[in-house]
Structure 1
Amino acid sequence: MTAITQLSRSLKGSRVLVTGAASGMGRATAAVFASEGAQVAVTDYDADGARAVADELTAAGHQAQAWHLDVSDPAAIRQVTAEVAKAFGGLDILINNAGISGFSAIDDDQYDAVWSSCLAVLLTAQQQLVRAALPFLRQSAHPRIVNIASTEALGATAQNSPYAAAKAGVTGLTRALAVELGPEGITVNCICPGPIDTAMTAFVEPEHKQIFARRRTALRRYGSPEEVAQITVSLCLPASSYLTGAVIPVDGGLMARNA
C-alpha cells in the first residue's frame, strides 16, 4: 500500500543562511531552524551580536556559526555566502531578513539619503544575496528562499515611503523570482510581518502598542518574533514544495480588518 504521506517535514541537516540574525525576528528564525536540526549561519552587521547568538545556540547543542555581514556591501555578500557554503558543504535555504527602518517625510532634506539606504539594505541586498546563493541552491535537493518584507508593502504609513517602497519591491522581486526559478524547483516566498515586538518597535510606548493592536489587529495584540519565525521556517520544509510566489502577512489579522 502506498504511504498516505510521502513528503518530509524534517529540516535536520539543512544548511541555512539567515541575515540580520543577531536580534529580533532573525535571531528567532535562526533559533527555530537550529532547534529543528539545521546548520545555521548567523549573519549580521553586528558581529558581536551574531557571535553571541551562535554561541547561545551551540551551547544548547545546536549547529551554528557566526559571520559578520554588511548587506549593503556586495563584495561582502559574495564572500560570506561562499564561506558559508564552504563551511557547511553547501546551502539549502536563504532567509533575507536583514532590515532597517526608514521614516522620512517626502520634503525633508534627508529624504534622498533615507531612500538610498532603504533600497540598498531592504531590496538591492536581497537580490544580491539570491544571486550569490543561487549556484549553491541549485545543488540542493530542497532549495528555498524566503524574503522578509512588511505589511508596509501592502498598506503604508505616512512619512514611511522609502521603507514602504523598498518592501513593496521585495514582494515584486519575490513573485518574479518564483516564476523565473520555479522550473528549477527553487521556491521563493515572502513574509510580511505586521506589528511585532522587536527593537524596531521598542520606541513605541507599551500603552500605545496596546491601543493600536486593539484597534487594528484581529488578535488584538502585537506578535512575537518567534511567531513570525515559525511561519518562515514552515515555508522551508521539504514538504512545502508546491508553495511559491506567495506573499504571506503574519500580522495578527491587521490586513484582514476594515476597521
Structure 2
Amino acid sequence: MDLSRSVQGSTVLVTGAASGMGRATAEVFAAEGAHVALSDIRLESVRGAADDLAHRGFSAEAWALDVADGEQIKAVVGEVVQRFGGLDILVNSAGISAFCAIDDPHYDAVWDRALAVLLTAHQRLVRAALPHLRRSKAPRIVNIASTEALGATSRDSAYAAAKAGVTGLTRALAVELGKDGITVNCICPGPILTGMTEALPEADRQTFANRRTALRRYGQPEEVAHMTLSLCLPAASYVTGAVIPVDGGLMARNA
C-alpha cells in the first residue's frame, strides 16, 4: 500500500479552475508536481490560469468545459486522459450562485440551472472519469459543496438543495466505489474570499465573520485547496464518505 504524501506525477482534473477555489486548487496541485487539467466555461480565463502555471514550469493545460453539457464532459475527460496518459484525481469545483425567492416567477429556471451545474454535473463527471480512475493506483474524487448544505440561508433554497445533494451523492458513491479503492469525499467551504464574496462591502464581510465564525475572518481559497490536496494524497487511502466543513468554525459556533 502506497502511504506517501506526494501527488507528484498524478493527473488531476479540476473544474471551475479559472478563478476562486478552483484556481487555487489547480495552483496547489501543480506546485506539488501533479499534471493539472484546468477546465472552466470561459476558455480565455482558464487558458490564462494554465499559461501562468506553465510559464512557472508546472505541468498544466486548459480546457473549455460547460459542466451542464454532458457531451462536453465526455469529450474533455477523454482529451485529458489522452494528453496525460490517465486520470487519478477528479475535483468537482465548478459552481454558480443561485439566490432566488421560492415565489419568484423565475424560480424554476434558477432551480434547474442550480441542479444542472451543482449536482448533475458531479455525477456525470464521475461517470466519465470512472473507467480511468479504476486504473489509477490512488484514485480520488473530491466534491466541493458548501456549508449551505448543512444550514441554509434565506432565498437560497435551490443552491442549498443542490449542495445537500452533493453530500448525499458523495456518501453513496463512497459506499459504491469503495470496492474499487476509489475514495470519494466532500468539502463544505464556509465564507471564502472569492469573486462573489469580494463584491460585498468589507465592513459587511467583517461583521458577518465576527458574528458567525470562530476565527472571526473569511477564509482564503488556498485554505480550501490544501484540504482538497490532503484528501487526495495516497496516504489518505482510508478516508472516504467524509463531509468536511472548511468554514473557520461557522458550523461549530452557536453564539
Match for 1:186 among 157, 165, 182? Answer: 182
Change (3 A) 1:204 1:12: same
Which residue of the partner structure matches residue 99 of structure 1? Answer: 95
Which residue of the partner structure matches residue 234 of structure 2? Answer: 238
Partner amino acid, structure 2, of 1:242: Y
Aligned pairs (5 A) from 1:114-153: 114-153=110-149
Match for 1:51 among 33, 47, 50? Answer: 47
Partner amino acid, structure 2, of 1:107: D
Q: Which whole-Å CA distance do the structure 1 matches of 2:35 and 2:229 have between them?
A: 13
Per-residue deviation at 1:194?
A: 0.1
SS at match of 1:192: strand
Structure 2 gap ranges (5+): none
Task: Render the CA deviation track for 1:90-110: whole Å, top value 9, x for unaligned.
Answer: 000000000000000000011
Match for 2:251 among 235, 249, 255? Answer: 255
Partner amino acid, structure 2, of 1:38: A
Change (3 A) 1:6 1:80: closer
Task: Render the CA deviation track for 1:138-184: whole Å, top value 9, x for unaligned.
Answer: 00000000000000000000000000000000000000000000011
Aligned residues: 255
Aligned pairs (5 A) from 1:1-259: 7-259=3-255
Q: Which whole-Å CA distance do the structure 2 matches of 1:248 and 1:135 have between them?
A: 26
TM-score, length of structure 2 as denominator length? 0.99
Per-residue deviation at 1:204?
A: 1.3
SS at match of 2:152: coil
Q: Which whole-Å CA distance do the structure 1 matches of 2:249 and 2:206 have between them?
A: 15
> Are the equivalent residues in 1 in contact too, given 2:2–2:234 (CA < 8 A)?
no
Q: Which whole-Å CA distance do the structure 1 matches of 2:102 and 2:144 have between them?
A: 25
Q: Which whole-Å CA distance do the structure 1 matches of 2:35 and 2:196 have between them?
A: 27
Q: Which whole-Å CA distance do the structure 2 matches of 1:209 and 1:146 have between them?
A: 28
Per-residue deviation at 1:72?
A: 0.5
Q: Which whole-Å CA distance do the structure 2 matches of 1:225 and 1:109 have between them?
A: 34
Q: Which whole-Å CA distance do the structure 2 matches of 1:165 and 1:202 have between them?
A: 24
Q: Which whole-Å CA distance do the structure 2 matches of 1:114 and 1:28 have between them?
A: 27
Per-residue deviation at 1:203?
A: 2.6
Partner amino acid, structure 2, of 1:213: A
Per-residue deviation at 1:6?
A: 6.7
Partner amino acid, structure 2, of 1:9: R
Per-residue deviation at 1:133?
A: 0.2
Q: CA RMSD in A?
A: 0.9
Q: Which whole-Å CA distance do the structure 2 matches of 1:9 and 1:203 have between them?
A: 37
SS at match of 2:82: helix
SS at match of 1:190: strand
Q: Which whole-Å CA distance do the structure 1 matches of 2:204 and 2:234 have between them?
A: 40
Q: Which whole-Å CA distance do the structure 2 matches of 1:119 and 1:82 have between them?
A: 24
